[in-house]
Amino acid sequence: MNVSLMPRFEVMIREKVASGRYNASDVVRGAPRLMETANRRNAERLERLRLDRVAAEGITDIGPTNPTDVLMVRLFASVESCTRE
């Protein structure tokens, strides 16, 4: 695989290699792992925000998701409806 880097990334990799803790391959292999972790965390954060909104609005039909989450949203919605009466 041939990879082209922007000059600032090339400088960053050279600095990491110069520190003596990494070689260029380690740095380049680590980048996709970091992106994968960031993507997973963002997806988890979005799902939490969505469930918070669903719970706040008392929506019980939220579509396919984790069954435990659906149960919790329905539980919160039913508790909230009882406290309103």
Distance CA(12)–CA(9), nearest Å, equals: 5
pLDDT value for 19: 93
Query: Residue 64 falls within a domain, yes or no?
Result: yes
Around Cβ 51, how many Cβ atoms within 10 Å? Answer: 19
Query: Residue 32 falls within a domain, yes or no?
Result: yes
Query: Residue 42 falls within a domain, yes or no?
Result: yes
pLDDT in tens, the chain (85 residues): 788 888 998 998 899 899 998 898 888 888 888 889 998 888 888 888 887 777 777 665 555 566 676 677 767 766 666 665 5
Q: Count of alpha carbons within 13 Å of 60, Cβ hemisphere only?
A: 9
Q: Which domain does 12 fall in, by range?
A: 7-84
Query: Residue 45 falls within a domain, yes or no?
Result: yes
pLDDT value for 28: 85
pLDDT value for 20: 92
Query: Residue 2 falls within a domain, yes or no?
Result: no
**Structural domain count of the chain:** 1
Query: Residue 1 falls within a domain, yes or no?
Result: no
Considering the entire predicted model, what is its pTM? 0.48
Query: Residue 60 falls within a domain, yes or no?
Result: yes
Compute the CA torsion angle 35, 38, 42, 44 (nearest 10 deg): 110
Task: Please identify which residue in the block is written with the tokens 């970091």.
Answer: 34
